[in-house]
A and B are shown apart, each in its own frame.
Chain A
Amino acid sequence: MDDAAALQSIQATTRYTSEEMRAWVARRRWALAGIIYTIMIAAAIVFVGPLLFSALSSLKTNPLEYPPGLNIPQLYPSNWIAAARLGRLGGGNPLLGGFKPGARIPFRITYFVPEDVSAELPEVIVPRRRPGAGLGAVMKIDYAADYAHVSPVMEAERAPSAISIDGERVRGEYITYSFTVSYPGEGPPIDRVPVDITSSPGVIYVSSTLTASRIERLGRVASYDNLAPGFFGYVFRNYVRVFKEARSVSTGKSLFFSWTLNSGLYAIARIITNLLFATMAGYALARFNFRGKTFIFMLVLFSQMVPGQVTFISNYLVIRDGIFGLTRLFGVRSLLNSLWGVIIGGAGSSAMIEASKVFIMKQFFESIPREVEEAAMIDGTTQLQRYWRVVFPMARPALGAVTILTFQGAWNDFFWPLVVLTSPEDIKTLPIGLLSFRQTYGAAGDWGLILSGAILSAIPVIIIFFVFQKYFLEGVSFGGSKK
């Protein structure tokens, strides 16, 4: 029954006018839409909210800020420009900053000085400060304090004004001071220039060329992690730290970069083997008739039900001994702590061929009409050609689904790599690396670095999901129903 018919039938039995009825139906329609949209938005917030929140927190100097605020200096365009300019002046690099010989960094800071407070010139120092925790604390570094020179602090401007503090109007003046941090003479390039500006008690920090990283000692000290951070170094400070600070002690290479590379190689290897083997197995199960076919298919399905934890010990032993000593042919005693061990030795959902992928491919091949292959057969093709030249290219949607699902599985695979890859640090994959981050930095309350690492590691999956959404859904429908 459509709306008009419904209206008429209701009108016939009640005393409402058609106008009122129409308005009521319209209201109901809008209310329904409203309810559905509210539910969908609420669900979206519940699922995406934590991700967005941690993305925002990862930008903060103190991600544990409580109560959490949204007033993040890293999001002000004025700071972006200042950070890039200071980075260019300090290290000749507007993106990543730094501190190189010959650098001159002019800086201004403004305080509000209430009438009853006498302000002295603030004291500016470049402290000898190293990272307090994590791998940065273990590394040998050069200190900016050993090379930097701070010019005498000068008063630049003075303007009378009044501000309100706790609802009370306080008279006083804005005073701006200026100074320059320079790098005279020769020396090594240095990553960061921490600066502490200490003023007299009672004055209030208002602004500076670059917003201070933190205000300490009840307002007396404006502290900067890096006076010449560059755009990325300021806005994405924790992200830059992920790459710069977390390095292998023995080789000096960025750990996060190695981990990403390992995860990438692992994912690609898994995709290639799964595409090749799962299509072959799926094709055989879909097209050939042989004794025990159903049994084999059942076996494949059954293997999906065995959790990886059941088989991992035997797999571990096989990998440890180099596949019964076979790898000794290549001069390798054991496949532990090698990517090959992770790729070859996996079982269940970290294997070179996964049961669920075989299932997807079998279902898809069964949906391709036999007539296609029969036509090819008349043209004189062999069995292998029919598989490789005819059916394989036709299976593109299913191949897409297998690729996506395998990539996601491999990228997030945790258990098996955790067992196989223990040392050195740079052999690990991303999820295992993030665990080691948690141990290194979480213990010291340095969550910014962990958050940024986690978000960086999620990006490839998010991108792939958006680009290949269609295949994700198809993967589900291939697995579930037979066309």
Chain B
Amino acid sequence: MKKLVKMLTAVLLVTLIALPLFAGGKQEKQTAPASVETASKKEVQIRIMGYGGQDPAVVVRLLDEVIGEGLEKEGIKLSYEPLEGDYNAALFNALSAGTAADIFYIPVETAPGIIATGKVLPLNGLVDTSPFIDSLVEAYTFNGKIYGIAKDFNTLALHYNKDLFDKAGVAYPDENDNWDTLREKIGKLAGIGDNIYGISLPADYARFGAFAFAAGWKPFDEKGNTNLLDPKFKTAVEYYTGMVREGIAVQPSDLGQGWTGGAFATEQVGIAVEGAWILGFLRNEAPNIQYGTTFMPVGPSGERGNFLYTVAYGINTDSPNREAAVKVLEALTSEEAQQFVLEQGLAIPSRKALVDNPFLKKGTPEAEANRVVFEGSRMGFVYGYQFGKVGTDWFRPINSALATIMTGEKDIDTALKQAQSEIEALIERAK
């Protein structure tokens, strides 16, 4: 009996002693800025919710090396909360539960839905949006109100394998190429071997859409409807799937790869249509591949087409510290912060002025690719990777139509008719 009492007391004591110890780290962090606080103003805590993965580390470095000091003077303390897994689902949960942070990421593809919750603060008059790339501001403008400042962005570009083009004796793709001349180059390149393809094209709207835009097609009309039976859309489908049917283009899955970048790294395809995210992948998986990057080809409309993939910072309407949140948002998208992120090779900045940054003019393949992707944002028909209130379900009918046409399961007209009826149903449901 005595022993047991002794033991229980010991366990209790250990718990009592250990509890503050365990929390010790946290406690210190909370008290450390407090001593600064007495010297300046009252301390304000600003929370940011964003992606997991690499982003928490990037924010830590930004704070340590660029913006931390300035914010500390203002008495603002930042904490970054990564939402691992499905970001959109987690953010919608947090918004409806009232636990969302003061600042959160707004991915362009789900922006209309997030903004429709009414929890995003319009930034008109609070933040000067003129230094940012127009198409990026546009992607976050709804009914004349601006809801987000793009953190960074990406567009599509043609990345080509120089060795393969040299071997085939074909000129590299360049900015003067239109659909026909590009197709000719692709055809010649595919002729040099059985396992060599001119270009890798997935059955995916995320790549195909850029071609449809170049044909002059628009994803939504004024009423918010989608027309896949538009002749312009059909032209793009014929061009895109035709190369696969002909055997000069290949789907990445046919090379055992999950995406075009993987197919490009096998050195079996001449061209990959990807954004700047391919660079880090190539650095790891195919560090010696000799590649160049150029703009998307000019389509039948006489213009190029492109997607904007981006994420913006938005401010929570329920934030108790709006002023401080605006200051943090400005610091995160400041020129110094964006320059730092660019020069670390982490992302492409959303400010117009950075087009003249020496980093983009270094002449290395990576710098060149970054420049092309940067400038792609203002060439021709550029739309955000966005699908109205339908969300990411919207492009499913298009993807399956592309897949059935590429495999020859259905002809173009049948496939498009079916896709049109499916997409109409989706839009109807969302309204």
Chain A interfacial positions (CB closer than 8 Å to B): 62, 64, 66-67, 127, 129-135, 137-139, 194, 196, 198, 214, 216-218, 220-221, 223, 249-250, 327, 330-333, 335, 337-340, 382, 384-385, 388, 418, 422-425, 432, 435-436, 439-440, 443-446
Contact = CB atoms under 8 A, between A and B. Distances in A.
16 contacts: A64-B257, A133-B54, A135-B54, A137-B54, A214-B286, A216-B289, A218-B167, A220-B163, A332-B23, A337-B26, A424-B56, A425-B82, A439-B51, A440-B52, A440-B54, A444-B280
Given A135-B54, A424-B56, A425-B56, A332 B79 contact: no
Contacts of B27: 331-332
B4 A137 contact: no
A423 B262 contact: no
Contacts of A331: 20, 23, 27
A445 B53 contact: no
A130 B344 CA distance: 11
Contacts of B81: 422-423
A333 B34 CA distance: 15
Which bracket fits the contact residues of B?
Answer: 35 or more
Contact of B57 (A138, A198, A382): A138
B26 A332 contact: yes
A440 B79 CA distance: 19
B346 interface: yes
Contacts of B258: 64, 445
B225 to A, nearest CB: 33
A223 B287 contact: yes
B223 interface: no
Contacts, number: 145
B262 A445 contact: yes
B84 A436 contact: yes
Interface string B266-286: 010000000001011111111
Contacts of B280: 132-133, 137, 444
B167 A338 contact: no
List of 8 A-B pairs having minimum Cβ-Cβ separation, nearest first: A66-B256, A132-B283, A132-B280, A439-B53, A440-B53, A132-B284, A332-B23, A249-B57
B70 to A, nearest CB: 19
Contacts of A223: 287-288
A330 B21 CA distance: 9
Nearest to A423: B81
A445 B346 contact: no
Nearest to A134: B54
Contacts of A443: 53
Given A385-B1, A423-B82, A217 B267 contact: yes
A444 B276 CA distance: 12
Contacts of A139: 57
B252 to A, nearest CB: 11
Contacts of B255: 66
Contacts of A135: 54, 57
Nearest to A446: B284
B288 A196 contact: yes
Given A382-B1, A445-B258, A132 B19 contact: no
Given A332-B26, A436-B52, A444-B281, A418 B84 contact: yes
B352 interface: no
Given A132-B281, A139-B57, 20 more contacts: A62-B285, A132-B282, A132-B285, A135-B54, A137-B345, A198-B288, A216-B288, A217-B163, A217-B267, A217-B288, A250-B60, A250-B64, A339-B22, A418-B84, A423-B81, A436-B82, A436-B84, A440-B53, A444-B280, A445-B261
B259 A127 contact: no
A66 B257 contact: yes
A130 B346 CA distance: 12
Given A340-B22, A340-B23, A440-B54, A221 B288 contact: yes
B80 interface: yes
A218 B163 contact: yes
A422 B85 CA distance: 12
Nearest to B286: A216
B58 A138 contact: yes
B61 interface: yes
A333 B31 CA distance: 12
B290 interface: yes
Given A217-B163, A217-B267, A444-B281, A330 B19 contact: yes
Contacts of B287: 127, 129, 194, 196, 216, 223
B54 A138 contact: yes
B3 interface: yes
Interface string B246-263: 000000000111110110
